[in-house]
Amino acid sequence: MNNLIVFIGHVCPIDVEKNMKIQTLFLNTILILIPFSFSTLVSAQEEGKNLYEEACAACHSISDNSNITLSQRLKERAPTLFYAGNKFNPDWLENWLVNPKRLRPGGHFFLDNVIVTEDGDAIDESKLTEHIAVNAVQAKQLTEYLMAQTPKSDLIALESVTLGKANRALGEKDFHKFKGCGSCHQSEDGYGGVSAPELYSSMNRLQPAFISSYIRYPEKWDPKTLMPNRHLNESSIEKLLNYLNLITEQPE
Ligand code: HEC
Ligand code: HEC
């Protein structure tokens, strides 16, 4: 890095004295700013990586785990962070790490936490644990590191999402009755399935192109996902996205 700066300094011969001050000022600014921004970015990411290894790696994988067997998969303690940078909105991620709230009402693997009651299956809340929280500086460093994990950008590039209006009643019927999403996902706190992440914060939490792509190709994101590919056409996916946007922006 330093060599590069010296080199920049030497290829600009400065002959007019008046310009010299300006040029020197300009070069000094570059000299100061380039290494500064470069090194803070790299070190934030590196700090994030160290933190991940210390505090997160015991539960979360961050490399491609699509080839593991189903039994290994069921033993995993947390969702993969392999493609975090293709999935999360960075602002949401940073805030959530400081103040995490439950996303999967039944825990990471709901069957571990189900109890049979007279009214049907219920979640044994006593088995669910709180997610660890980090401080604001750590959250920033972790977010830099996690957002740099983008192995699935090719899938994201296939999507072009433009969000539009949705009709709440029709959207709800579509989500719960026609498309069956509500048997696994909640569309409001306490309404919907418990085996998958809630979707009433999805537009804040996730990148719209990720949502669209996961609905289109769940198995390309996760070959062992429990989510079925319903082979929906473009306009059905668009309607679902508009509905998810409505329930995120204007919860009932
Ligand atoms: C004891 C195990 C454990 C540790 C340690 C842990 N997590 Fe988690 N994490 C989980 C579980 C379980 C979930 C699923 C929570 C939910 O859905 O409510 C989760 C969810 C997440 C999510 C949301 C993932 C998604 O796909 O929805 C992120 C992001 C995350 N953790 C980041 C971290 C980071 C960063 C650390 C380290 C500072 C960490 N976790 C440490 C168990 C853990
Ligand atoms: C049989 C249960 C099931 C059904 C039905 C289902 N999903 Fe899923 N869905 C899942 C599971 C399991 C995941 C992955 C969860 C994880 O990462 O832990 C998922 C993930 C998602 C995600 C990504 C969310 C995230 O936080 O990673 C979106 C978006 C989504 N589903 C939308 C839908 C929509 C829309 C429908 C209806 C067309 C639907 N799902 C139907 C089980 C289901």
Which protein residue has the closest C-alpha to ligand 1 atom 29? 93
- Whether the CB-CB separation of 53 and 172 falls below 8 Å is answered with no
Residue 70: what pLDDT? 83
Per the listing, tokens 């899938």 go with: 155
Which protein residue has the closest C-alpha to ligand 2 atom 39? 181
- Tell which one of 103, 184, 200, 210 to mutate to probe ligand 2, the residue whose CB is within 8 A of the most ligand atoms: 184
Ligand closest to CA 196: 2
Query: What DSSP character marks residue 157?
Result: T
Alpha carbon of 222 to ligand 2 centroid (Å): 11
Pair (106, 208) in one structural domain: yes
For 37, 104, 123, the CA distances from 111, given in Å and listed in that order, are 47, 12, 9
- Whether the CB-CB separation of 193 and 183 falls below 8 Å is answered with yes
Pair (8, 101) in one structural domain: no
Query: Hey, is 111 helix, strand or coil?
Result: helix
Full residue range of the structural domain in which residue 15 is found: 2-47
The predicted-structure confidence for 239-249, as pLDDT tens digits, reads as follows: 999 999 999 99
pTM of the model: 0.86
- Whether the CB-CB separation of 139 and 94 falls below 8 Å is answered with yes
Which protein residue has the closest C-alpha to ligand 1 atom 9? 78
User: How many domains does one find in the chain?
Assistant: 2
Pair (66, 40) in one structural domain: no
Pair (138, 225) in one structural domain: yes
Query: pLDDT 10s per residue in the chain (252 long)?
Result: 444 333 333 444 445 455 555 555 555 555 555 555 566 666 899 999 999 999 999 999 999 988 888 888 888 899 999 999 999 999 999 999 999 999 999 887 777 777 777 776 777 877 788 999 999 999 999 999 999 999 999 999 999 999 999 999 999 999 999 999 999 999 999 999 999 999 999 999 999 999 999 999 999 999 988 899 999 999 999 999 999 999 999 998
Pair (91, 34) in one structural domain: no
Pair (41, 79) in one structural domain: no
Question: What is the rounded CA–CA span in Å between residue 205 and residue 75?
Answer: 26
Pair (60, 43) in one structural domain: no
Residue 236, H or E segment: helix 234-249
Q: Is the CB of 79 under 6 A from ligand 2?
A: yes
> How many residues belong to the chain?
252
